Structures are given as C-alpha cells and as structure tokens.
Amino acid sequence: MESAIPLHLKTQRTRHKRVPDDYQPPYPSFVARYKPGVVRVVMAYFGVQYRDVAPAAAMEALAAIGERFAGEGGPTHWDRAHYVDQAGYTNVVSAAYWDDIARFDAWFEPSREAWTGKGREEIGTFIEVLRPAVARHETLFSSLGRPEGVAVIADGMSGEVQEHAYWGGMRDRIPLSQSDPMTPGGVPELIRDGARLRVKAHDNLCLIRSGQDWSDTEASERKLYLDDVEPVLREGMDFLRDDGLVIGCYANRYMQVLAAGSRASEKSYGQSWWKSLAALERWAESHPTHVKIFGAAMKYLSTLGPSAKLRLYHEVTVAAADEQFFEYLSCHPKTGMLAAVQSAGA
C-alpha cells in the first residue's frame, strides 16, 4: 500500500486527509506516476463542431491537426472522441498530452493560429488547455495494463494506493490538498478578439475526465454494463450538460472514443468543467443523478467481483488561473466554457 501522493510532492500538512492512517481500501486502485523531473503536464482539447453530416472542412481540419500532432514538438499521446451536444451539433474532440511545457509552447503558437486563427466554412473550432503543476492533478485507475489519457505519458503506474474508495479520496490524492483548500476565485469572463472568443476563467477551476472501457467485457458482463450501468451514467451526464450550471458544472461532454479510422470504440469518457473541486465533490457525493450512477456501478461491481472486465479511470485537475486557456471560433454559444460566460452575462 502506498500513498497516491508521490514522495517528492509530500509537504508539511496544514490540512488532514479524510481517512485515518490505518485506512484500508476495500479493493485495489492505482495512479499514474510521472518521472520526478516532470513538473507540469499539458492536456489540450482541440474541438471541431458542425451540424449534421461532416463537411469537408471538418475532415480537413481533423487531418491537419493529426499532422501537427505527429510533427515536431507534438504531444506524446493523443486520442479522439465524438459526441452530439445539447444544441444538436456534432463535436469531434482531439485530446492531446504533453509533459514538457517548453515543447508544448513552441508547438502550440502556430498550431493555435492554424486552429482558431481563421474561420472555416460550416465548422466551428475550439481549444481548451490546462497546463497544471503536477501537484494540482491526480489520476485513478481500476486496473493496470491499459493507461488512458494523461496516464499514457506517465512513467508508469503505482502499486495499490491508499487514498481511494471513500468520498474525499479525489481531493486527498491531489498533492496540493495537503495545504490548500483550493477555493475558487472570481467568475469566468468573456474576451472578444475579433471573431475569436476567449474565456478567462478563474483560480482553481476544476476539470475531470472520467472514462469507461468495456472492450474487454464478454456476453453477460457487457449486457449488464450496457443495460444497467450505461443508461444511468448517460442520464447523469445529460443532467450535467443541460442543468449543471446551478450546481457549479460549467459544461459537460459525454463522449465516445474513436478508434483508428474514426470507428466508434468501446470506450467513452465524460469531460466536465467545474467551478471548484468542492462543487464536483458535492455532485458526486449527494446529487440524485450521481447517487444513481454510484449505486448502479456498485451493484455491477459487487455482482461481478474481481472478475469484472470493465475498466474505469479518471484524471482530475484543479488549475491555477494562469494554467488555463479557452478559445472558441464560430462555435455555438453553449460550447464548452462559453456556456459559463453566456449565463454570467445573461
């Protein structure tokens, strides 16, 4: 049993963790471990948005960003996912990960210009980037052997960690929680730069990417997941997307991961932006929609026991104000963090 907080990020505590030192989680979970030299990671979401059938411009944009990812200074790992949003628009989002800020910065400037610098026919584009210090970030995996998202660029995975399977574990895994309540400050602001809309959010904005991978499940387990768990998960994701703002969720996308050749894979993830880690905690712990998800997942896992082949993971970041970047071009007004400022301005 090891701490989710790596040794080199242990600090003098002014805030206690939520469980006693002898706490034993009831089942194993694991976290990504970066090389100690990694001080920041970058997670950058590049979105293409269009209505109905994909226009040629969308295909061209996706090919172009793929080429940039493969080029000099590109991400160590990226994946692509797809969803139809509340306004009926299709969004194809390429999520890319770096562990070197200088490399990212050099790569980003021209890539940004190419992505949101000039309008394209029939499509919108957007960029959402966090570049957190590693102390502002945590991951959790239900099993080993298939890292996803930011964990792919890590050095490897931990052994079994202590800080999970209780409410508050997410916070306790973030190294900064040892000394900082991570209180949000300020409200999101809209900045107009010609046709480009930028959102300046606020200190301690929170991002979660929470993923599901049912590709290893077989007959009865697959049926149980798709019939009993997925619909409840979808209902909660829809709630966050449509009505999340009142509880501090600025935006939510429940996306299907695309495999090579743009075929849908048997992986999905929810990606949501939150006013604070506390707001995310409250939803997860006590909102009826997540209580249902938690109940369905618990029933599923207790039915299957250790034989369950479903893989679950998440990554959570609480970003400082200067670790964020949001830019939207020709997107509808409920896209991503635009929803937060639309509402604030309304």
Q: Which tokens go with 277?
A: 């880690």
**Minimum separation from the CB atom of position 13 to its own copies (A):** 10
Span interacting with its own copies, options 153-161, 231-239, 279-287, 308-316, rule CB under 8 A: 279-287
Q: Looking at this protein, which amino acid is placed at residue 240?
A: L
Strands 249-258 and 264-274: antiparallel
Nearest to its own copies of 24, 261 (CB atom):
24
- Name the segment binding its own copies (CB under 8 A); options: 17-25, 79-87, 252-260, 338-346: 17-25
Give whichever of 4 and 190 is closer to its own copies, judged by the CB atom.
Answer: 4
**In contact, 242 and 248? CB cutoff 8 Å:** no
Question: With 0-12 CB in 10 A as exposed, 13-18 as middle and 19+ as buried, what is 166?
Answer: middle
CB 303 within 8 A of CB 290: no
Q: Does 291 bind its own copies (CB under 8 A)?
A: yes
Site for its own copies in 145-174 (CB under 8 A): 165-168
Q: Cβ atoms within 10 A of the Cβ of 242, count?
A: 11
Give exposure, 227-238, as e/b (b: 16+ Cβ within 10 Å). Answer: eebeebbeebbe
Catalytic residue among 137, 164, 202, 314: 314
> Which stretches does DSSP call E strand in 149-276?
156-157, 189-193, 196-200, 205-213, 249-258, 264-274
Exactly one of 51, 103, 112, 292 binds its own copies (CB under 8 A); that residue is: 292
The stretch among 15-23, 94-102, 109-117, 263-271 that binds its own copies (CB under 8 A) is: 15-23
Q: Is 314 a catalytic residue?
A: yes
How far apart (Å, rounded) are the C-alpha atoms in residues 250 and 259? 28
Binder among 7, 26, 52, 53 for its own copies (CB under 8 A): 26
* HSE of 262, CA atoms in CB hemisphere, 13 A: 11
Binding test (CB under 8 A) with its own copies, winner from 72, 302, 322, 346? 302
CB closer to its own copies out of 80 and 290: 290
Which residues form the catalytic set? 314
Which residues lie near its own copies (CB under 8 A)?
15-16, 18-20, 23, 26, 165-168, 181, 183, 276, 278, 281-282, 285-286, 288, 291-292, 294-295, 298-299, 302
